[in-house]
Amino acid sequence: MSTATSEPVLALQGVTSGYGPVTVLRDVSMEIAQGEIVAILGANGAGKSTLLKSAVGLVCPSAGVVAVSGRDVTGHAPEKIAGEGIVLVPEGRQLFDTMTVRENLLLGGYTRPRGEREESLERVYSLFPILKDRLEQRSSSLSGGQRQMVALGRALMARPTLLLLDEPSLGLAPIIIKETFETLARLREDGMTILVVEQNAAMTLRMADRAYVLQRGEVLMEGPAAELEQDPRVRSAYLGDVSEQPRRDPAAHVSGA
């Protein structure tokens, strides 16, 4: 699946990006090493999704460098970056609702050799056995948790080196959120590298190796997840610790890394 390298699987160096005249990310640098789970925390509108989109080529940086395993891919087309093994599971799943589960899954593997598809499908079924019973159902008929399984399965069909997840727990029931996190832990045990944006900071920090906190498009803090989990500023802003009083913007009182 992934190739061992001393270079980070993904590195952003001084990335500035946004939408037309609107700058969202400013001078953002981060690295994800082989086998790591890295979390991105931040308030609504902090730029987390924009960061993921900048990494996969859906948003083109106006400054800075995006590098995949040491190769500069800044400004490359999304399909080219996906071909490098950097695959996004977008916020809201974004399945093709009129297509069946099987068709949605196969779409994820369309850049891969045909001979690989059945093996990849089997791997998806081993992670999500219930999907095997739903293959011919339209994805619109699935529950939220099953839709998340298809979205993750579709991404895995591309045999990613790095999986980017945008709010995987959004809209899911607590028991399904727990199962989703367990799936991510299993993927990590299999050697997958994961960059995850999540509102559920407590569960995410427990799972992650390292984390970055974004505030208004800039990296405010970074470090080992276990350290950030204990940081009073993070506890106050993202973990619901009422002993610290957050201000209007939940991270506005955090003064530096």
Q: Site residues (CB under 6 A) for ligand ATP?
A: 19, 22, 24, 42, 44-50
C-beta of 6: minimal distance to ligand ATP in Å?
A: 31
Two structure tokens written together for 155: 């991404």
In the complex with ligand ATP, which residue's Cβ is closer, 55 or 194? 55
* Smallest distance, ligand ATP to C-beta of residue 20, A: 7
Q: Closest distance between ligand ATP and the C-beta of residue 40, in Å?
A: 8
Taking the C-alpha atoms of residue 130 and residue 118, their distance in angstroms, rounded to an integer, is: 17
Report, in Å, the least distance between residue 46 CB and ligand ATP: 4
CA distances for 134 relative to 130, 143, 178, angstroms: 7, 11, 22
Minimum gap (Å) between residue 135 Cβ and ligand ATP: 31
Q: Are 21 and 73 spatial neighbours (Cβ–Cβ below 8 Å)?
A: no
Distance of CA 40 to the CA centre of its chain: 9
Indicate the residue among 10 and 51 with the shorter CB distance to ligand ATP. Answer: 51
Return d(Cα 175, Cα 8) in angstroms, integer.
Answer: 34
Quote the least distance from Cβ 210 to ligand ATP, whole Å: 18
The nearer residue to ligand ATP, 34 or 169, going by C-beta atoms, is 169
Cα separation of 128 and 123, whole Å?
A: 9
Q: Bridge-partner residues for 17, per DSSP?
A: 25
* Residue at token pair 């994961």: 194
46 vs 221, which CB is nearer to ligand ATP? 46
Instruction: Please say which residue, 22 or 242, places its beta carbon nearer to ligand ATP.
Output: 22
CB 69 → ligand ATP: shortest distance, Å?
25
Over its C-alpha atoms, the chain yields an Rg (Å, rounded) of 18
Residue keyed to tokens 């059945």 = 118
In terms of CB distance, is 22 or 175 closer to ligand ATP?
22
- DSSP 8-state secondary structure symbol assigned to residue 6: S
What distances in angstroms separate CA 196 from CA 41, 136, 172, 253, one per listed residue? 9, 30, 16, 24
- CA-to-CA distance for 201 and 211, rounded, in angstroms? 10
Residue 101 or 208 with smaller CB distance to ligand ATP: 208
